[in-house]
Structure formats: structure tokens, C-alpha cells
Amino acid sequence: GQRDIQNNVRDIRYDYADAFSFILIGKFKDDLTAQDRAQVAGQTNAIGNTATSFLGSVLTSFVNSAVGDLVNNIQISQAGDYTKFSLSGRIQNLRYSFGGTTEVFQNIGKANLKIEYLFNPKFLIRLERKDPIGQTYVLDEKINEMALKYKFEF
């Protein structure tokens, strides 16, 4: 033990999973009970979700510094078995948002898309294709919307 640490020699009995479980629980992976394993799994999911959210803000900063408002927000999140993403930005008077799950890369028809054109600060037109709000049994069902928005102030 101590001699290996001083000589910076790794013990071949232990790997990264052992280090991870020891940091989280205080036990090596072979010493974990079923309850300990469930606790490690729950903490791993929480860490993964945090890392995924953090990645979106890092990507947003990097891409925004390169292209400006063309891309001003990238969101990445984990929802069950799916990884969801959203990319939004602005080109002059046109605002857009594009996203969905990673299934979009195999079938573009599953994407969510929103385009807004600002004629002036009080009037815009919006075209949107999105998932239904309620539970549906048809996976590829999308809602298509068109809206005119005029802002009254009084």
C-alpha cells in the first residue's frame, strides 16, 4: 500500500470504478451491498445530468463567441432514456429554435422547430412545429402552429 503510493505504482486489483465508488460511498466496488449499488447509481445519474447541463452552457459560450447571435443558446438535457437538445439564435429580425431528441439525427421529421419574424418590436409572425403537450400514443405526431402576435401597451 504505502510503498506503492510513494512510488506511484497502481494496484492492479482496483480500477476507476473502485475509485469512484470509494469517493461516493467509502467502499470499493466489490464491497458494495445492493443498497450501496443503488445509491452509487442514483448519484451517478445526478452527476451525469449536471454534467450534461453544464456542457450546454460551455458550448453556448464557445459557439456564441465564434458566430455571435447566430447561435445564442444551446441546451442539452437528459430525459429518461433520451438526450434532448435545443439550439436557438437570431439573424437580424428572424429568431429560430431547433431541437428534439437525438432521434432527430436519424429522422429530421421528429425535430421541433420554431421560427419568428419580427416586422417591428410590436408585431411578429411565428411558425412552430412541436410535440403535443398531453400524452400521446403516436410517437411521430407533431403540432403545427402559425401565430400572429401584436403587442398592445396601455
Residue-wise pLDDT tens digits, 71-89: 888 888 877 777 888 899 9
Q: Which amino acid is at 74?
A: I
User: Does the pLDDT at position 18 exceed 80?
Assistant: no
Residues 6+ apart with CB under 8 A from 49: 77, 78
Residue 77, Cβ neighbours under 10 Å: how many? 14
Q: What is the pLDDT of residue 97?
A: 95
Look over the chain and give the mean of its residue pLDDT values, rounded to a whole number. Answer: 79
Burial of 38 (0-12, 13-18, 19+ CB in 10 A): exposed
**Contact call for residues 61 and 75 (beta carbons, < 8 A):** no
Tens digit of each residue's pLDDT (9 = 90 or more) over 29-64: 777 777 766 666 655 555 555 555 666 777 777 777
Domain range summary for the chain, segments of one domain joined by +? 54-150
Burial of 26 (0-12, 13-18, 19+ CB in 10 A): exposed
What is the percent of the chain with per-residue pLDDT over 90, rounded to a whole number? 23
Q: What is the DSSP letter of 46?
A: H
Which tops the pLDDT comparison, 6 or 54? 6
Q: What is the pLDDT of residue 61?
A: 78
Residues 6+ apart with CB under 8 A from 132: 141, 142, 143
Closest by CA position to 99, among listed 42, 142, 46, 45:
142
Using DSSP, state whether 92 is helix, strand or coil: coil
Q: What is the pLDDT of residue 123?
A: 95
Q: What is the pLDDT of residue 24?
A: 65
Q: What is the pLDDT of residue 41?
A: 60
Pairing relationship of beta strands 112-120 and 94-101 according to DSSP bridges: antiparallel
Neighbouring C-alpha atoms within 13 Å toward the C-beta of 50: 6
Q: Read off the pTM.
A: 0.60
Which grid coordinates belong to 16? 476507476
